[in-house]
Amino acid sequence: MLGPADYVLWFLTALLEGAVVLCALKRHTFRRYLALNMYMLGSLVVTILRFWIFSHYGFSSAQYLYFYYYSDALLTVGLYFALITLYSFVLGELQTGRHVRLAAIVLLAGTAFFSYQVIQQSSDRMLTRFVVEMSQNLYFVGLVLTYLLWGAILKLRETRAQIIQLVLSLGLYFSALAATYALRNLYPGLHLVWGHLPELIALSLPLAWAYTLWRIPVEARLAPSRLAVVSR
């Protein structure tokens, strides 16, 4: 049985996901950040479809359960490619586009292979286990990739405020997910907190992106000295 908080978070997530797409269209940045916007548009569609399936079949139904996990895996792959496009923005001047794409494909294939190795001993529901495992592994790959990208931003003295904001929001998102994993292991009794925390984390990403696309102009720059103070 779902409580009012679940419905409110569900509605807010859909609202913010729609806001990101509208902000991008209004500020003419939809094509500039095409992968990010397509991911957010996909998230909005999935959020609405999940609610439709929930209202027709119920929370405990197999339809809701399978749609939830399979759609999550697809969205995680979408977010992975959105993150890779941010690499293209940051490393654009180094002419490394082909190598970034190669590394991204090798990494995705490696993650799929690793996920299969983990679940291959299972006797039932192998595909569903694989999908869930792959999705979970991609969260951690995304976390490492975001920190690497942040290192590249500092090293290359990237100053585009929108790019910096988008990368920071992804860093916060992936870090919060990893922290949720760790804290849930430390304090497994706090069901009320762990039940809603992932939904709040899911809410943070469209909130940060909507703010970035709406309030920060494309040409806005941050001084490198404000990103890191490195004595040389």
By CB under 8 A, is residue 129 in contact with another protein?
yes
* Size of the chain in residues: 232
By CB under 8 A, is residue 44 in contact with another protein?
yes
By CB under 8 A, is residue 66 in contact with another protein?
yes
**The pair of three-digit structure tokens given for residue 124, joined into one six-digit string:** 């039932």
Q: How far apart are CA 120 and CA 134, in angstroms?
A: 13
End-to-end CA distance of the chain: 59
We find the least distance from the C-beta atom of residue 188 to another protein, in angstroms, to be 8
DSSP state of 232: -
Q: Say how many residues touch another protein, by CB under 8 A.
A: 70
We find the least distance from the C-beta atom of residue 147 to another protein, in angstroms, to be 9
Single out the residue of 29, 111, 162, 212 in contact with another protein (rule: CB under 8 A).
111
Strand partners, 160: 221
By CB under 8 A, is residue 68 in contact with another protein?
yes
Q: What are phi and psi of 221, to 5 degrees?
A: -125, 150
Q: What are phi and psi of 148, to 5 degrees?
A: -65, -40
**The pair of three-digit structure tokens given for residue 136, joined into one six-digit string:** 């979970």
| Binding letters toward another protein, positions 4-33, x by CB under 8 A | --x--xxxxxx--x----------------
Single out the residue of 43, 162, 165, 212 in contact with another protein (rule: CB under 8 A).
43
**Which of 43, 212 has the CB closer to another protein?**
43
Q: How far apart are CA 137 and CA 144, in angstroms?
A: 11
CB atoms within 10 A of CB 80: 20
Sign (positive or negative) of CA dihedral 153, 154, 158, 161: positive
By CB under 8 A, is residue 161 in contact with another protein?
no
Enumerate binding residues for another protein (CB under 8 A).
Answer: 2, 6, 9-14, 17, 43-44, 46-47, 50-51, 54, 59-60, 62, 64-66, 68-69, 71-72, 75-76, 79, 99-100, 102-104, 106-107, 110-111, 114, 122, 124-125, 128-129, 132, 135-137, 139-141, 143-145, 148, 173, 177-178, 180-182, 184-185, 188, 195, 198-199, 201-202, 205
